[in-house]
Amino acid sequence: MTTFQQRTSEDTHNREGARSAEPQGKLTLAEILEILAGGRLPLRFTAYDGSATGPVDAQLGLHLKTPRGTTYLATGRGDLGLARAYIAGDLEIHGVHPGDPYDLLKALTGDLVFTLPSPRVLATIIRSIGIGNLRPIKPPAQEAPPRWRRIAGGLRHSKSRDAEAIHHHYDVSNTFYEWVLGPSMTYTCACYPRQDASLDEAQENKYRLVFEKLRLKPGDRLLDVGCGWGGMVRYAARRGVRATGVTLSEQQAAWAQRAIADEGLAGLAEVRFGDYRDIAETGFDAVSSIGLLEHIGVRNYPAYFEFLQSRLRQGGLLLNHCITRPDNHSEASTRGFIDRYVFPDGELTGSGRIISAAQDTGLEVLHEENLRQHYALTLRDWCANLVEHWDDAVAEVGLETAKVWGLYMAGSRLAFETGGIQLHQVLAVKPSGADSLAELPLRPWWTP
């Protein structure tokens, strides 16, 4: 979204000179935006006070409808204020579909940079907005409480609080997810064999890649933690592998259990509703974790990898697939819109910290790769699905929730394209003695 950045003193002088003088009297909302954006508006902005700014012929636009929207924008830090005003219906978008506002977000992120004005100008802006519009108000109902208030649900990443966070995001509606995700019901990064491959083909290819990396064969035992709707479990079971999945989402578990029965896989596949830490069985030939680590919490990585290793046989393989940051020193906790509306308590870090945590528990890392370009394509296709099924999606989950999903997926696509977030698969083995790699080929044995 938009961020505040300090310009050079020369740049600031040039822009203020272009305005010829500091503002006098009460400013319109359009004038306030012009000042904050330094006159660099990539879209058309109109407001309820009758003011407007930006190119008249712009293909993209924003319309601020109500004073409540002004309050949301003025009191929400970072992207949170924009999200609140948009989700509540106080800010309209033009030139894009709400199921895929990618082009608008790209314009805002690339060209619109807010700059802090001088104290004197800032005082004029505050007077123009009015003190009453600077008092925080109740956010939209779709917003999760701030982190300090979530303590009532338990400590962060305790079993009870993790269950609530998963419920917030995944127990929306299985029907809604079917429209967005398509037939594969796979809510993780696909792997596109070609640029023109379909979403379903790419998701099948992702499961094939994980299956091959784990060297699974008929009769093997697979544990899939955070299994979602059981896509990996069913893929493995169709190939003779005894697969057990576990998810904290009751709706996911119910859907997966029905799918297993419908495919006649009950003798090989099982999906349980519960916490992965409650899995008692050991001796699995392989463990897959596809999209779970984001919910674990960085400080819990050692316990997470220790537990997964304890469920493997000697020489067993572990594949961890998760969203990452492009560095290893940024704060792990998510903030703003993502934390309040999408993934409460989510934490991301760099692939280096993940590899270090796996190694420090005794696992030997064999391979890692970054699939961030594939996730951008995946999100593109999910947004296309949401647009196609928009009316049904709104009827199922409500307009506000549907708008959250369009905003979140389009914004995430942009972040993956620019490298702001990434997707790493890490393959590791549980050492089995003096020659822990004796049963593995000398070079990667899977096809890309």
Distance of CA 32 to the CA centre of its chain: 32
Q: Is the pLDDT of residue 22 over 90?
A: no
Lowest mean pLDDT among 60-69, 124-133, 158-167: 158-167
Sign of the CA dihedral 267, 177, 107, 351? Answer: negative
Q: Can you tell me the distance from the alpha carbon of 222 to that of 131, in angstroms, rounded to the nearest whole number?
A: 60
Question: What tokens does 213 get?
Answer: 């990396």
Q: Can you tell me the distance from the alpha carbon of 243 to that of 268, in angstroms, rounded to the nearest whole number?
A: 6
* The pLDDT value given to residue 25: 77
Instruction: Name the CA dihedral angle for 21, 22, 25, 26, rounded to a multiple of 10 degrees.
Output: 120
**Residue range 367-389: average pLDDT?**
98
Q: What is the pLDDT of residues 139-166, one digit of tens each?
A: 999 898 876 555 555 555 555 555 455 5
- DSSP H helices, 214-249, are 231-237
Q: Is the pLDDT of residue 9 over 50?
A: no
* The pLDDT value given to residue 1: 29
338 vs 61, which has greater pLDDT?
61
Q: Is the pLDDT of residue 417 over 80?
A: yes
Sign of the CA dihedral 356, 358, 362, 364? Answer: negative
Distance of CA 425 to the CA centre of its chain: 16
Question: What tokens does 269 get?
Answer: 């596949």
Identify the CATH number of the domain defined by range 159-429.
Answer: 3.40.50.150
Contact 102, 414 (CB under 8 A): yes
**Residue range 16-43: average pLDDT?**
76
Q: Collapse the DSSP code of 121 into the 3-class scheme (helix H, G, I; strand E, B; otherwise coil) and give the result.
A: helix
Q: Is the pLDDT of residue 73 over 70?
A: yes
**Residue range 166-171: average pLDDT?**
51
Q: Is the pLDDT of residue 358 over 80?
A: yes
* The pLDDT value given to residue 318: 98
Q: Where are the domains of the chain?
A: 9-134, 159-429
Nearest to 403 by CA among 188, 103, 85: 85
Q: Is the pLDDT of residue 263 over 90?
A: yes
337 vs 320, which has greater pLDDT?
320
* The pLDDT value given to residue 19: 44
